[in-house]
Amino acid sequence: MNLTRILVMMLLILTATFVSCRTAAVRNIPLNSIPATQDKALSTDEIESSIIRGGSKVGWNMRKIEPGLIVGTIQVRVHEAQVNIRYTANTWDITYRDSKNLKYNGEKIHSNYNKWVSKLADAIRTQIDEDEAAVPSKKK
């Protein structure tokens, strides 16, 4: 009876270990259009600010590398992910840059990475929308 319990416990531990190590294809966020109307549009500097604020709100450290490029980094326990966020006044996208302890093999990565990147993209979209809504109309 004790041997059966030990075997069941070992099986449960192994199953939990394998389930928690899921990998998936790396998710990049392709070009996203930045909505603008004729009388309301954000400048490139305002887009940059929106991206930085949006990412920061969901736990990403956002660092401008050069005009048109921000690197976002998130650390969760012993895991780290970095993404490139390229942007213009009209578009932005997110691509994989680097990671630590996320089992990246050139094609696949721990599935939590994709959740973090999706949450980052949603936060950026929301922040851009909010900032554009706050821009006063240029019509007279």
Q: What is the pLDDT of residue 139?
A: 56
Q: What is the pLDDT of residue 5?
A: 74
Q: What is the pLDDT of residue 3?
A: 73
Distance (Å, whole) CA 120 – CA 94:
9
DSSP letter assigned to residue 103: -
Distance (Å, whole) CA 29 – CA 50:
17
Domains by residue range for the chain, with CATH = 23-134 (3.30.310.80)
Q: What is the pLDDT of residue 21?
A: 59
Q: What is the pLDDT of residue 102?
A: 97
> What are the percentages of helix, strand and coil residues in the chain, rounded to 5?
40, 35, 25
> Would you state the structure tokens that stand for residue 14, as one six-digit string?
């192994």
In 3D space, the residue among 94, 92, 125, 116 whose CA is nearest the CA of residue 24 turns out to be 116
Q: What is the pLDDT of residue 1?
A: 59
Q: What is the pLDDT of residue 34?
A: 86
Q: What is the pLDDT of residue 71?
A: 98
Whether 50 and 62 have beta carbons less than 8 Å apart is answered as no
Whether 128 and 108 have beta carbons less than 8 Å apart is answered as no
For every one of its 140 residues, what pLDDT tens digit does the chain have, with 9 covering 90 and above? 577 777 666 666 655 555 445 899 999 999 999 877 666 789 999 999 999 999 999 999 999 999 999 999 999 999 999 999 999 999 999 999 999 999 999 999 999 999 999 999 999 999 999 998 888 776 54
Q: What is the pLDDT of residue 39?
A: 67
